[in-house]
Amino acid sequence: MTAAPQTRPLLAARGDHAALRAGFGWALPARLNMARQVCFDWLDQPQRVAIIDLSGEGRRDIGYGALAGMAGGLAAHLAAAGVARGDRVGVLRSQDPWCAAGHIALWSLGAVSVPLFKPFGPDALATRLSDAGAQHVITDTEGAERLATLPVTPYIPEDLMLDPAAAPDVADTGPDDPAVLIYTSGTTGAPKGALHGHRILTGHLPGVEISHDRLGQPGDVLWTPADWAWIGGLFDVLMPGLAIGVPVVAARLPKFTPEGAREVIRTGTVRNVFFPPTALKTLKADGMALPGLRSVASGGEPLGAEMLDWGRRAFGLSINEFYGQTECNMVASSAASLFPPRPGCIGRAVPGFDLAVLGPDGAPLGEGEEGDIAVRRGAASMFLGYWNRPDATAEKFRGDWMLTGDRGAWEGDYLRFVGREDDVITSAGYRIGPAEIEDCLMQHADVALAAVIGVPDPDRTERIRACIVPRPGTSPDAQALQDHVRRRLSAHLVPREVVFMDTLPMTVTGKIIRKELKRQAAGGSAP
């Protein structure tokens, strides 16, 4: 890898998936700083569009030169205010150019950026800022109001007198020097901060590129409705796009709607989209088609055969699923341009990542054997550890393998996702993953959303419960849904209970919180 990432994406070489894996190595340089990768190394092309800003009125194209001026001026101001190398600094912004410039400014100083989700209330912000030991936050007027009761200093770039010519001397950092502290969505317990080095961006590039069928083609423009406060928005879209030279659209969507998405795609001339599964389900329920895209990627929850079939009709292409987590992301992916998708599987290992399915003794299992999905140490997107949590960090590893907490099995060299370790249902001697049943239920015309959990049963260990959000205007019948699963799958996979709900509990990143459904079930009442 050269010092100037704009020369080519990491997977510039052509060839099939096996050839890409065989010929790939991280080749991390001794000195690496993400501020250079995503911005300052592009200053030989200052007019090249970095961000297409739709967050205000109309459209505004921001070149790399302008972005560098924003980041450089902010960095100089922060340095004068006392922000130094290693300091943790919050970034509480929506999808907008100052969010990008804020991270770049901090990395250029050798500081550690802490992405924060705008809808967080004071308690959620206080938990993360206190744990990180952050004393400064880059934000906007709305964010400053939420921070008013906290012991931090807010900085609103729009209100500061910044010198756009004050480009900093970028800090001399290496791949393992801390750069970003990303808090997990915290489905249970307090959220943990996953600390990443400057290599995190390089580690994301191969998976991002193949999940968008070789991102970086002429005319590519990238967008996601996922917030840039999460690893999916920040490192699956924003920073890889800037590093590769693909314009990234910044658009505020307070609530995802099909109409809003269509307008962003039209106005921003978007060709490449990362849609979280919940966004895809919303589009499907609305019946909206979005032709004209070159690639659609999705990750966070398995889609299943029905969603993939719908995607071909709605987009005219195959949705590429990818897999990873905050601690080590983009480790497996589908890539229609390289190999055919396989329903129920989340793709193959991304170049640069060694994956395994481990048994109880920690040894890799063979094809078809269900076990723990794990990633070998040494992957560039793997975290340095949990912030101030050495015990939790140690528990994440088994020898040379980082445990994802997910269950899976190999189908040839395709990885099949079974479910979270604590989501797998044990019923009448069967170990049952919820994803397959949920996919089957989603194929029923009356079902908008489905979540499947196991609830205690004295005879069967657990019985299968399906939690259903009906499609608007329908009144699904429980027996009809059970018969649907029996016909499509198997009698042992039929939910013995079907409950109907207005909504399903979800994390802020759009993942179903099955633990909450189990908690409600344990309370003696239907969810």
pLDDT digits (tens, 9 = 90+) for 31-77: 999 999 999 999 999 999 999 999 988 999 999 999 999 999 999 99
> Does residue 515 sit within a domain?
yes
pLDDT at site 132: 97
Cβ–Cβ < 8 Å for 424, 418 = yes
- Using alpha carbons, select from 44, 13, 167 the residue that is nearest to residue 104: 167
Residue 269 lies in a domain: no
pTM passes above 0.85: no
In CATH, what number is assigned to the domain containing residue 446?
Answer: 3.30.300.30
> Which of 198, 226, 246 is the last residue before a domain boundary?
198
Q: Given this model, what pLDDT does residue 20 score?
A: 86
Low-confidence residues of the chain: pLDDT under 50: 1-7, 186-188, 525-527
Q: How many domains does the chain have?
A: 2
Q: Is residue 177 part of a domain?
A: yes
Residue 9's pLDDT is 64
- pLDDT value for 305: 84
Question: How far from the centroid of its chain's Cα atoms is residue 309's Cα?
Answer: 23
User: What is the pLDDT at residue 333?
Assistant: 97
Q: Which two tokens stand for residue 148?
A: 């008013």
C-alpha span between 162 and 176 (Å, rounded) = 31
Q: Is residue 231 part of a domain?
A: no
Q: Do the domain assignments include residue 314? A: no
Give the pair of three-digit tokens for residue 72.
Answer: 């450089």
Q: Is 454 part of any domain?
A: yes
Amino acid identity at 75: A
Q: Which of 170, 198, 226 is the last residue of a domain?
A: 198
Query: How much is the pLDDT for 4?
Result: 40
Q: Which domain-ending residue is among 177, 198, 219?
A: 198
Task: Please report whether residue 205 resides in a domain.
Answer: no
DSSP character string of 155-185: E-GGGS---TT---------TTSEEEEEE--
User: Which structural domain range is residue 506 located in?
Assistant: 422-522
| Phi/psi at 211 (5° precision) | -70, -20
d(CA 87, CA 104): 14
Residue type, 303: L
Residue 369 lies in a domain: no
pLDDT digits (tens, 9 = 90+) for 475-508: 999 999 999 998 877 788 899 999 999 999 987 7
pLDDT of residue 168: 72
CATH number assigned to the domain comprising residue 42: 3.40.50.12780
